């Protein structure tokens, strides 16, 4: 296994990132991980992002975590949407360009604000194989491009999340074609403290099934 601090170029912005390679022989499947809202302290070291990283590593999948513009050591200014979506695209491009990564087996995942950015970016990334969204805010889940996006999706949310009404989440995800894999984290609020092991297991199993064609049942 190896950890490498890397820089991600996105026009005039330079993002700080962390590449985590599993044990084994490359090239590896890989997943880009997007962190929650920086105005609430979100960065690439967030507990849920770390849980996803651990779950993917356990399956032999590489990860690229990064800080959005204006966060941590990343340059630029947070703008809340377009800039961050372009950051996602830049991170995906950087991961695919690595020699250790199989660019035909790449996924995308995010938590909260990062989930929104991942889901918004996905329809514009035709080579992306799958997307996982943890506690995704419901605004934007009915975007036509997302409803028509057919790639596999995983959605996890807590049933005590005051920002994401579970009934509304189910109504919106049923409109997606095909419907995503949805799991409710019982007792979980928006911050999902204590639910990291289940998040790690479900995210790892989902991407192993899609990127590695591996059944974990």
Q: How confident is the model at residue 214 (pLDDT cuts 50, 70, 90)?
A: confident
Q: Which domains does the chain have, with CATH numbers?
A: 2-211 (3.40.50.1820)
d(CA 22, CA 59): 9
pLDDT at 216: 55
pLDDT at 207: 99
Query: Is 109 strand, coil or helix?
Result: strand
Query: Is 83 strand, coil or helix?
Result: helix
pLDDT at 133: 99
Query: Is 190 strand, coil or helix?
Result: coil
pLDDT at 195: 99
Residue 114 pLDDT > 90, yes or no? yes
Cross-strand pairs, 85: none
d(CA 152, CA 181): 8
Residue 181 pLDDT > 60, yes or no? yes
What is the tens place of the pLDDT at every residue in 153-179? 999 999 999 999 999 999 999 999 999
pLDDT at 215: 65
Q: What is the mean pLDDT of residues 40-47?
A: 97
pTM, two decimal places: 0.97
Residue 217 pLDDT > 90, yes or no? no
């Amino acid at each position: 296994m190896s950890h490498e601090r890397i820089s991600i170029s996105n026009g005039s912005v330079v993002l700080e990132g962390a590449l985590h390679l599993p044990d084994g022989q490359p090239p590896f499947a890989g997943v880009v991980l997007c962190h929650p809202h920086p105005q609430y302290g979100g960065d690439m070291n967030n507990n849920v992002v770390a849980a996803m990283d651990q779950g993917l590593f356990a399956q032999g999948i590489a990860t690229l975590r990064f800080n959005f513009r204006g966060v941590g050591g990343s340059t630029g200014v947070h703008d809340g949407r377009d800039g961050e979506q372009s950051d996602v695209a830049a991170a995906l491009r950087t991961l695919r360009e690595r020699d250790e990564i199989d660019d035909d087996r790449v996924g995308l995942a995010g938590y909260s604000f990062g989930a929104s950015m991942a889901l918004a970016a996905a329809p514009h990334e035709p080579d992306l194989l799958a997307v996982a969204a943890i506690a995704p805010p419901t605004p934007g889940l009915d975007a036509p491009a997302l409803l028509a996006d057919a790639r596999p999706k995983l959605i996890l949310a807590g049933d005590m999340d005051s920002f994401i009404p579970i009934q509304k989440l189910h109504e919106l995800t049923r409109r997606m074609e095909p419907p995503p894999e949805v799991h409710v984290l019982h007792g979980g609020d928006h911050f999902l403290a204590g639910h990291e092991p289940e998040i790690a297991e479900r995210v790892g199993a989902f991407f192993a099934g899609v990127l590695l064609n591996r059944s974990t049942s």
